[in-house]
Amino acid sequence: TTEIYTLSLHDALPISYYLNGLSAQDEGEYAEALNNYYQALQIEEDLYDRSIILYNIGLIYSKNGDYLKALKYYYFAIFINSRFTSALNNIAVIYHYQGIKAAEKNCYALSESLLQKATFYWTKVVKIDPNSYIEAWNWLKTTRRVKI
């Protein structure tokens, strides 16, 4: 999912980089967006704002199919904010996607391991926000993976 979060207004320079990054990201100029986000990270001190920047970097890597890098930045974001449901959800989405791909290649043990990771993160998401992630909730129920 692609949810946009806004930063608090602590300092004009990191916000300027962040807004330039958002604009470039919206226009599909991912290299420029990443450059701006990395610049913002160099100077942004507010942890909440840093988690949003890290999340947006993860979105770009995910959009470009670089799921390992996307996971890295989503993990950075949840390390700062463990209740960041969009980041948690995106981690689950990546593990789910990879689990389905593994099953298609008859790698069933790997598939199950990845789907268990998706289960772990989607369970966290629906515990934190049970009304916003209906698809995750439905997947957990229909696959009988609910541990809530």
Q: Tens of pLDDT along 123-139?
A: 999 999 989 988 998 89
135: nearest Cα among 92, 81, 106: 92
Q: What is the DSSP letter of 10?
A: S
For 97, the token pair is 């996607």
CB 13 within 8 A of CB 48: no
Who's near 142: CB < 8 A, 6+ residues apart?
A: none
The stretch 1-26 carries a mean pLDDT of: 75
Q: Tell me how far apart the alpha carbons of residues 54 and 77 are, in angstroms, rounded to a whole number.
A: 6
Residue 73: pLDDT over 80: yes
Rounded CA separation 25/59 (Å): 9
Distance CA(136)–CA(118), nearest Å, equals 9
Q: Are 95 and 62 in contact (CB under 8 A)?
A: no
Which of 46-50, 64-68, 143-147: highest mean pLDDT? 64-68
Mean pLDDT of the chain: 91
Q: Is the pLDDT of residue 71 over 90?
A: yes
> Looking at residue 9, what is its pLDDT?
52
Portion of the chain with pLDDT greater than 70, in percent: 91
